[in-house]
Structure 1
Amino acid sequence: MPTPRLWDLSPPVSAASPIFPGDQPFALQWTARIGPDCPVNLSAVTTSPHVGAHADAPLHYAHGAPAIDEVDLAPYLGPCRVIHAIDVGPLIRPEHLAHAAQNLPPRVLVRTARQADRQWRDDFSAYAPDTLAWLAAQGVRLVGIDTASVDPATSKSLDAHQQLRQHDLRVLENLVLDEVPEGDYELIALPLKWVGACASPVRAILRSLP
């Protein structure tokens, strides 16, 4: 039996990683180094949980909603479809996904860019709110995107995030889908159990199906 192929959807995380303006950048410092009096290297990290590939918790867009340690893990693991909607404009609409919408699995990741952003830009593609409602009506439980947010960078009402809340959808943002063909896979993208946090980094991968 052939070994399943893996696609790593997580961008490198470093001090150079693009962040939403005003967010906390990633920083790593060494608190101990191997030497005569120390047997190990130890590092300490400060970061926003929204740097790199990450899972938003409902708490991110609603007071009193579950933090990331409280969410069900099931949506982050299982059958998934990657759909290409490259260069479709500022909003992904149902018609951009319709060509691959038959018998959707519970997880849908949308590739919008020819190459995932290596620097911050505020004109990335996002989901139209009605697209998320349409996906939820078809049984989708998790959506993902290869940009910084499911909402436009300038949005203050966060209409797409509010659709996530209304339909109890989970979400992955900042994925790298550059090399992933359209089709069906197994998604593995589990969030960390960060108590009380509004999001968590994930090491998101796709695995080819038998």
Structure 2
Amino acid sequence: MNIIDISQEIYQGMPVYPGDPTFQSRRVNSFKQGDMCEVSEVTMGTHCGTHVDAPLHMLPDGQPLECFSLECFIGPCRVLTVPYPVISEKTLEELNVKPGERILLRTDPTGKYNKHARFNPAVLSMRAAQYLAQLPVKLVGIDAPTVENMELCDGEVHATLLRAGIPLLEGLRLEEADKENYMLSALPIRLTGENGAPCRAVLVEEN
């Protein structure tokens, strides 16, 4: 069995979406202070690093994270290599995306953005989002901080997918995922009533 970690590392100074809270860690108890154990206090945004978006993230009447079944985040998935700045409906049609699939969009196959701690600007077009929502697929993941155009930032791509009940898995690292078919595990932290949560995402490949 080969396990590929497709999550971002969480550390102080890591890049976060503009305007989001930064990751902070503070040692509360330590051996150096004479304490019997080590304990840290950490603060971070709900969309820090590799994370899941819930409908509440973009829809005023949207459901919180617990509306999603755990089945959404565990099971077979397809990694689709689409090294384009904008992923179109035509591209998804050519890749024969089917209803009920979990799809991960691999737009940065060389990992050049992750190597330099920079954001990958790849996005889904509005028509592509509508196509996936109409199928619908079970989950959409991407190796970018958001499925949305960061300059336009109108939230419509998010809203289209989330309104269809499709969880979004953002901030992935897919440079090592050079095959198409894997088993995915990407369970978000069990935060109640929240608009999203960080997760530890891995791909499993049977030998």
CA–CA separation in structure 2 for the residues paired with 1:202 and 1:72: 15
Q: CA deviation at 1:105?
A: 5.5
- Aligned to 2:134, which of 137, 140, 143? 137
State the match for 2:153 in structure 1: 156
Query: Per-residue deviation at 1:104?
Result: 6.5
Distance 2:190 2:170 in 1: 18
- Is the CA contact (8 Å cut-off) linking 2:99 and 2:138 kept in structure 1? no
CA distance in 2, matches of 1:190, 1:73: 7
Amino acid at match of 1:124: P
| 1:40-69 CA-partner distances (Å, limit 9, x unpaired) | 100110001211100011110011322123
Runs of 4+ residues deviating >4 angstroms:
102-105
| TM-score, scaled to structure 1 | 0.88
Separation in 1 of the partners of 2:57 and 2:126? 17
Residue segments in structure 2 that go unaligned for 5+ positions in a row: none
Match of 1:94?
89
Query: 1:88-113: per-residue Cα shift (whole Å, max 9, x none)?
Result: 22x21123234432656620000111
Aligned AA (1:175): L
1:119 aligned to 2:114?
Answer: no
Determine if contact 1:133/1:167 at 8 Å carries over to the other structure.
no
* Further displaced range: 194-203 or 141-150: 194-203
| Distance (Å, rounded) in 1 between the aligned partners of 2:33 and 2:18 | 43
State the Cα deviation string for residues 140-173 of structure 1 (Å, max 9, x = none): 1100000010101123321111111232111100
Name the CA distance, whole Å, in 1 between partners of 2:3 and 2:102. Answer: 17
Q: Aligned residue for 1:12?
A: 9
Structure 1 counterpart of 2:104: 109
Q: Percent identity?
A: 27
- Alpha-carbon RMSD across the aligned residues, in angstroms, is 2.0
Answer yes or no: is the 8 Å Cα contact 2:98–2:137 preserved in 1: no
Alpha-carbon shift at residue 70 of structure 1 (Å) = 3.6
Indicate the residue corresponding to 1:83 in structure 2.
Answer: 80
Q: Could you state the TM-score of these two structures normalised by the residue count of structure 2?
A: 0.90
Code of the residue aligned with 2:117 in structure 1: it is Q
Aligned to 2:61: 64
Contact 1:145 1:175 in 2 (8 A): yes
